[in-house]
Amino acid sequence: MSTPLKIKVTKDILEKAKNNRGWCATKTCPIALVLKDIFPDAEVNIQFIKLNESFKIATPEKVVKFIFVYDWTIPLMRPSMPELEFTIDIPDEVIEKIDIESLRPLLINHPTLQLL
Protein backbone atom coordinates (compact mmCIF):
# COMPACT_ATOMS: atom_id res chain seq x y z
CA MET A 1 0.00 0.00 0.00
CA SER A 2 0.97 3.60 -0.42
CA THR A 3 -0.24 7.09 0.39
CA PRO A 4 -0.46 9.72 -2.35
CA LEU A 5 1.25 13.00 -1.45
CA LYS A 6 0.43 16.12 -3.46
CA ILE A 7 3.37 18.50 -3.70
CA LYS A 8 3.02 22.12 -4.74
CA VAL A 9 5.93 24.42 -5.53
CA THR A 10 4.39 27.83 -4.83
CA LYS A 11 5.57 31.33 -5.69
CA ASP A 12 6.73 31.63 -2.07
CA ILE A 13 8.93 28.54 -2.43
CA LEU A 14 10.29 29.81 -5.75
CA GLU A 15 11.23 33.06 -4.01
CA LYS A 16 12.95 31.22 -1.15
CA ALA A 17 14.90 29.02 -3.56
CA LYS A 18 15.77 31.63 -6.16
CA ASN A 19 19.41 31.91 -5.13
CA ASN A 20 20.01 28.17 -5.10
CA ARG A 21 23.49 27.79 -6.54
CA GLY A 22 24.21 25.36 -9.31
CA TRP A 23 21.82 22.80 -10.62
CA CYS A 24 18.56 21.77 -8.98
CA ALA A 25 20.19 18.48 -7.95
CA THR A 26 20.57 19.60 -4.37
CA LYS A 27 18.89 19.69 -1.02
CA THR A 28 18.02 23.36 -1.57
CA CYS A 29 16.11 23.28 -4.85
CA PRO A 30 12.45 24.33 -4.61
CA ILE A 31 11.07 20.79 -4.68
CA ALA A 32 13.42 19.64 -1.92
CA LEU A 33 12.44 22.69 0.17
CA VAL A 34 8.78 21.66 -0.05
CA LEU A 35 9.55 18.09 1.00
CA LYS A 36 11.74 19.07 3.95
CA ASP A 37 8.71 19.75 6.16
CA ILE A 38 8.19 15.97 6.27
CA PHE A 39 11.45 14.57 4.91
CA PRO A 40 14.36 16.65 6.30
CA ASP A 41 16.94 14.80 4.18
CA ALA A 42 15.06 15.17 0.88
CA GLU A 43 17.11 15.58 -2.28
CA VAL A 44 15.94 16.05 -5.85
CA ASN A 45 17.58 15.61 -9.22
CA ILE A 46 16.49 14.72 -12.74
CA GLN A 47 16.80 11.00 -12.02
CA PHE A 48 15.17 10.59 -8.63
CA ILE A 49 13.50 12.17 -5.64
CA LYS A 50 15.16 10.88 -2.49
CA LEU A 51 12.99 11.20 0.61
CA ASN A 52 15.33 9.53 3.08
CA GLU A 53 18.28 7.14 3.15
CA SER A 54 16.13 4.15 2.27
CA PHE A 55 13.61 5.47 -0.24
CA LYS A 56 13.78 7.19 -3.58
CA ILE A 57 11.48 7.32 -6.58
CA ALA A 58 12.01 8.15 -10.23
CA THR A 59 11.53 11.85 -10.86
CA PRO A 60 8.26 12.38 -12.76
CA GLU A 61 8.68 13.78 -16.29
CA LYS A 62 6.74 16.92 -15.33
CA VAL A 63 9.27 17.58 -12.57
CA VAL A 64 12.25 16.90 -14.86
CA LYS A 65 10.96 19.57 -17.26
CA PHE A 66 10.52 22.00 -14.35
CA ILE A 67 14.09 21.33 -13.17
CA PHE A 68 15.55 22.06 -16.62
CA VAL A 69 13.67 25.37 -16.84
CA TYR A 70 14.58 26.27 -13.25
CA ASP A 71 18.27 25.51 -13.80
CA TRP A 72 18.48 27.70 -16.90
CA THR A 73 16.50 30.59 -15.43
CA ILE A 74 18.47 33.42 -13.85
CA PRO A 75 17.85 33.73 -10.09
CA LEU A 76 16.06 37.06 -10.41
CA MET A 77 13.47 35.50 -12.73
CA ARG A 78 12.88 32.24 -10.84
CA PRO A 79 10.04 33.60 -8.66
CA SER A 80 8.09 34.41 -11.82
CA MET A 81 8.18 30.80 -13.02
CA PRO A 82 4.83 28.97 -13.05
CA GLU A 83 3.96 27.04 -9.92
CA LEU A 84 4.31 23.27 -10.10
CA GLU A 85 1.94 20.66 -8.68
CA PHE A 86 2.41 16.90 -8.82
CA THR A 87 1.68 13.76 -6.82
CA ILE A 88 3.96 10.97 -5.67
CA ASP A 89 3.10 7.71 -3.92
CA ILE A 90 4.77 7.16 -0.55
CA PRO A 91 4.96 3.49 0.51
CA ASP A 92 3.46 2.68 3.90
CA GLU A 93 6.84 1.60 5.31
CA VAL A 94 8.17 5.11 4.65
CA ILE A 95 5.05 6.74 6.10
CA GLU A 96 5.41 4.62 9.27
CA LYS A 97 8.97 5.86 9.82
CA ILE A 98 7.93 9.52 9.91
CA ASP A 99 5.01 9.17 12.35
CA ILE A 100 2.53 10.66 9.92
CA GLU A 101 -0.20 10.84 12.55
CA SER A 102 1.70 13.52 14.45
CA LEU A 103 2.14 15.43 11.18
CA ARG A 104 -1.49 15.25 10.03
CA PRO A 105 -2.52 18.44 11.92
CA LEU A 106 0.38 20.29 10.28
CA LEU A 107 -0.68 19.06 6.85
CA ILE A 108 -4.37 19.99 7.14
CA ASN A 109 -3.86 23.53 5.86
CA HIS A 110 -0.31 23.16 4.60
CA PRO A 111 0.33 25.44 1.59
CA THR A 112 2.58 22.99 -0.27
CA LEU A 113 1.92 19.42 0.93
CA GLN A 114 -1.30 17.43 1.09
CA LEU A 115 -1.95 13.79 1.89
CA LEU A 116 -4.60 12.44 -0.45
**Domain extent at residue 90:** 2-115
pLDDT above 90 covers what percent of the chain? 43
What is the DSSP annotation of the chain? Answer: -EEEEEEEE-HHHHHHTTT--S-S-SSSSHHHHHHTTT-TT-EE-SSEEEEETTEEEEPPHHHHHHHHHHHHS-GGGGGGSPPEEEEEEEEHHHHHHTTHHHHHHHHHT-SSEEE-
Which of left, alpha, beta for 90 (phi over 0: left; psi -120 to 50: alpha)?
A: beta
Q: Looking at residue 99, what is its pLDDT?
A: 63
Nearest to 89 by CA among 20, 9, 34, 7: 7
- pLDDT surpasses 70 at 22: no
Please give the model's pTM, rounded to 2 decimal places: 0.81
Q: Looking at residue 14, what is its pLDDT?
A: 95
What does the pLDDT look like over 34-61, one tens digit per residue?
A: 998 888 889 998 999 998 888 888 999 9
What does the pLDDT look like over 74-88, one tens digit per residue?
A: 999 999 999 999 999
Distance, in Å, from the CA atom of 38 to the CA atom of 44, rounded to the nearest integer, reads: 14
pLDDT band at 104; cut points 50, 70, 90? low
Number of folded domains in the chain? 1
- Bigger pLDDT: 2 or 31? 31
**Mean pLDDT score of the chain, rounded to an integer?**
84
